[in-house]
Amino acid sequence: MTQKDLVWRTRSKVFSDTVCCWGMISQIHWTFLFLLVAAASQCWGDEGYETEEFLKREYSLLKPYQGLGSSSSSHWDLMGTAMITTEHVRLTPDSPSRQGAVWSRIPCYLRDWELHVHFRIHGHGKKNLNGDGMALWYTKERMQIGPVFGNMDLFTGLGVFVDTYPNDNKHQERVFPFVSAMVGNGSVIYDHDQDGRPTELGGCTAILRNLNHDTFLMVRYVRRRLTVMVNIDGKQDWRDCFDMPGVRLPQGYFFGASSVTGDLSDNHDLISLKLYQLTVQRSRQEEEEAEEEIMIPSVDNMELRSVEIEEEGMSGITLFFTVLFSLLGCFLLAVIAFVLYSRWTDKRRKRFY
């Protein structure tokens, strides 16, 4: 091999090694950029905080509902007219004046969670001739019958309502069924006459009654942010209902679902409740804030105060009899006073004769 060939071979090897080195550097560069973009999207993306979710069966209600409400090993209790079938838990049948509920026996201490609800509302009544709706609960109290979709008023915690009947005839802009939510601190009244407007956090119209496909509702509580979504179009596509930051809910409350019918009715069927624990990445400051114990439910920049319900005025007949009996009472007192005065006067005269 000549010296010229040796130089050429050496130069070729150096060039090949240089190209290979640049290729490795370029590959490392693009790999680093990809990881950087992925990390940024995870930190700043809208859903980046959800790294993983776990189904928590102890807080979930699933088929075949074995031992529900009767077995000591069951995690759920039935109340009122709620009954179990092979396909669902019927909270209320399509009959008037019914109340039913199902409540978890185990308090939930998860910090971040997501509740998926599979349900169906159906009946023979035509539009706006059905009622009244159902509610999902995360509250301090449990197993209490009352006027708020089958649960007690003045509750402490979160209520998500699927209202199927409009009570407020003054506001016609709202289309029913309507999904809304409310946070109570034990002193806040749910105003039926106004369909809960004074205390609602947000809401949306959801045409979900008498459908031939599955209907779902999702309640997510992450980083003190409450999000409600619906999946009612049969396309397995979640649609935003409302989103509210600054919602502070204590741990250790109970999940539940309830329903009520009045003069109008519907079948309110609960097929499943699936609760997922969400793992969330937090900064050190967020972690310190999350560790602060919340004692009373509240919403930032929103005063939870009792709503005064105006009492209806007396009817004409009631007012008439009230005035009549008041006058008769005054007349009777005057007669008694006159008789007593006459006797006292007679006795006084006899003393002088």
The residue ranges of every structural domain in the chain are 51-282
State yes or no: pLDDT of 168 exceeds 60.
yes
**Mean of the pLDDT values across residues 183-191?**
96
Q: For 228-240, write each residue's pLDDT tens digit.
A: 999 999 988 999 9
Left if phi > 0, otherwise alpha if psi is -120 to 50, otherwise beta: which for 301? Answer: left
Percentages (nearest 5) of helix, strand, coil residues in the chain = 25, 35, 40
Contact of 269 with 120, CB cutoff 8 Å = yes
pLDDT at 302: 83
Arch. (CATH architecture) of 51-282:
Sandwich (2.60)
In sequence order, which residues have a C-beta less than 8 Å from that of residue 161 and are 6 or more positions away? 133, 134, 135, 149, 179, 180, 181, 182, 196
Q: For 93-127, write each residue's pLDDT tens digit.
A: 999 999 999 999 999 999 999 999 999 999 998 87
pLDDT at 58: 94
State yes or no: pLDDT of 18 exceeds 90.
no
The share of the chain scoring above pLDDT 90, in percent, equals 58
286/142: higher pLDDT: 142
| Mean of pLDDT over the chain | 83
331/189: higher pLDDT: 189
State yes or no: pLDDT of 284 exceeds 90.
no
The share of the chain scoring above pLDDT 70, in percent, equals 78
Which band of pLDDT confidence, cut at 50, 70 and 90, is reported for residue 17? low
In sequence order, which residues have a C-beta less than 8 Å from that of residue 188 and are 6 or more positions away? 154, 182, 199, 304, 305, 306, 307
Which has the minimum average pLDDT: 289-293, 299-303, 304-308, 323-327? Answer: 304-308
Pairing of strands 247-248, 239-245: unpaired
Which band of pLDDT confidence, cut at 50, 70 and 90, is reported for residue 32? very low
Q: For 37-66, write each residue's pLDDT tens digit.
A: 444 444 434 444 544 689 999 999 999 998
Single pTM value for the model: 0.73
